[in-house]
A and B are shown apart, each in its own frame.
Chain A
């Protein structure tokens, strides 16, 4: 499989601030790479270089086989980009916005008009097609912006924090649209600070911090770096906690953790569901009262925390629950 996006050793400095510090990326054709990291990690700078908006200070990159610096002109005909600030014109209607983009891709007047209508239909904006964008909701603007990126049916798509600032319903709506594009074979580079978003949309995830990739893999591979499944179990009494810890120790795949204050024991396990069943059987035999029990997979939050030592932005909590 050829790589639709290749970046090698990208460096970008703004004065004393190093935005990118040796960024390496490879995105095979037809796959989705999620660039996951907190604000200031270098995600947007990477996208701006790959979409020809910025010239790197060092390193090189190519998209769809074209060098981002030397072949910028031809590259632009092969990509679509949708940013975190919806790049649409307030005073123009949805249809006029898309038509203008079509004209600037040199599709011709008639084809531009047709394409605008097709996309408005597909993005559920047909009803608002002839209204100025000024009156659109945040979700509608993002959908229109994404539609703008798709006017020329580009084989490679860059989505820079496509759902930042959207309410949960609009976010899920946009995820569905992106999911359809991916299913149709578009190569996508997606940046996000939402762990759930990367988990849901990306084939592989590159965790970015300090302007470079610090971990790369599928969501499952990254999670397994942090450890496998674990059983979390709360009991009613301190005596019960001691009994539970003693009884369940033989089932653990590693060290089990006992939290006396919360009356909770955490047990790393290899075969989660089977171990959970037998654990509950043993506790019942010992007559330990179980308050709460759950099989928990490590989240990307855990991954991020383990890799970087800090949280992935302020949204981490909300999404991990």
Chain B
């Protein structure tokens, strides 16, 4: 086997390990399956019954926002698992094996993106039950799901980087919650960002989460001609800008996480 094949084979071995772990750890499994279901039902019935939008139901408007909220939350499993593993000797064992050193992080992120895919599928099915609809061609819808999963994968590398810099599960959880909530709620996920006051509106319009939510709405057809079209540049080109965001995150955070991993384990 050459180096590339080794890296892939080792990455898959590690991914399998993590998948087994998630299956056996009730707290992680709850995050992957139960939390998305709760999100969809809660937001649909609590806010959906109170808020009305011109030309479409709030539930349909908001479901792409819940997709993004969930993938941002689920991508934190990557970082959380890494901080937990850092506390144990398992990375030492890996590093004394003749395995590809990059496999730990690729394996971890691959298994987590599979979990994230499971979350998105769960949410879509529950969404369909409560009135969400895909109103575009299958191809556009497929691109929508691919785009969400790609962003989830890229965001896993972001949380991996944060985790490897912070190292302890408790600190990681606190910081990441502190960052991810504003990231998701200072956006157009649950409300029209153009109606936010002054600087908050600008932040929301340039927030990658807004772009991703807007792109998902367009690709699933969850928009209404009766609602004002977004005027900010990233939101007018939501699909390409979302893909660009994912690529940029990967280009920045894959090498960064890899470097921090080497530093974190060689002490």
Contacts and interface: CB of A to CB of B under 8 A. Distances in A.
Interface of A: 51-55, 73-74, 76-77, 79-81, 83, 85-89, 91-92, 96, 100-101, 103-106, 132, 145, 148
Overall SS of chain B's interface:
helix
Interface string B73-110: 00000000000000011101111111100010000000
B252 interface: no
Contacts of B10: 103-104
Contact of B13 (A54, A89, A104, A132): A104
Contacts of A87: 88-90, 92-93
The 10 closest A-B pairs by CB, nearest first: A87-B93, A87-B89, A85-B89, A77-B98, A91-B21, A76-B98, A104-B99, A91-B24, A103-B13, A81-B96
B6 interface: yes
Given A92-B21, A96-B17, A104-B13, 5 more contacts: A76-B97, A81-B93, A83-B92, A85-B92, A103-B13
B24 A85 contact: no
A51 B9 contact: no
Contacts of A103: 9-10, 13
B1 interface: yes
A79 B93 CA distance: 11
Contacts of A53: 92, 95-96, 265-266
B1 A106 contact: yes
B209 to A, nearest CB: 31
Contacts of B142: none
Nearest to B22: A91
Contacts of B20: 91-92, 96
A79 B267 CA distance: 20
B97 A132 contact: no
How many residues of B sit at the interface, in one of the four size bands?
Answer: 20 to 34
Contact of B266 (A55, A83, A148): A55
B93 A106 contact: no
Interface in B198-238: none
Interface of B: 1, 6, 9-10, 13, 16-17, 20-21, 24-25, 88-90, 92-99, 103, 265-267
Nearest to A154: B96
Contact of A148 (B88, B93, B98): B93
Nearest to A92: B20
A106 B16 CA distance: 15
A101 B97 contact: yes
7 contacts: A73-B98, A74-B98, A88-B93, A92-B17, A96-B17, A105-B98, A106-B9
Contacts of B97: 76, 101, 104-105
B13 A100 contact: yes
A89 B17 contact: yes
A67 B1 CA distance: 23
Given A76-B98, A81-B96, A87-B93, A100 B17 contact: yes
Contacts of B21: 89, 91-92
Contacts of B90: 87-89
A46 B246 CA distance: 43
A295 B9 CA distance: 62
A85 B13 contact: no
A57 B16 CA distance: 37
Contacts of B9: 103, 106
Contacts of B16: 100
Contacts of A55: 266
A104 B93 CA distance: 10
A79 B98 CA distance: 9
Contacts of A77: 98
A86 B1 CA distance: 30
A79 B96 contact: yes
A76 B96 CA distance: 6
Contacts of B13: 100, 103-104
A100 B99 CA distance: 11
Contacts of A96: 17, 20
Nearest to B23: A91
Q: Which of A76, A88, A89, A148 has the most CB of B within 10 A?
A: A89
Contact of B24 (A132, A145, A148): A132
A54 B17 CA distance: 25
A79 B16 CA distance: 24
B25 A91 contact: yes
A24 B40 CA distance: 64
Contacts of A100: 13, 16-17
Contacts of A148: 93
Contact of A101 (B1, B24, B92, B93): B93
Contacts of A79: 96
Contacts of A76: 96-98
Nearest to B28: A91
A51 B89 contact: no
Contacts of B98: 73-74, 76-77, 104-106
Contacts of A73: 98
B89 A86 contact: yes
A136 B260 CA distance: 32
Nearest to A73: B98
A293 to B, nearest CB: 48
A188 B13 CA distance: 29
A49 to B, nearest CB: 11
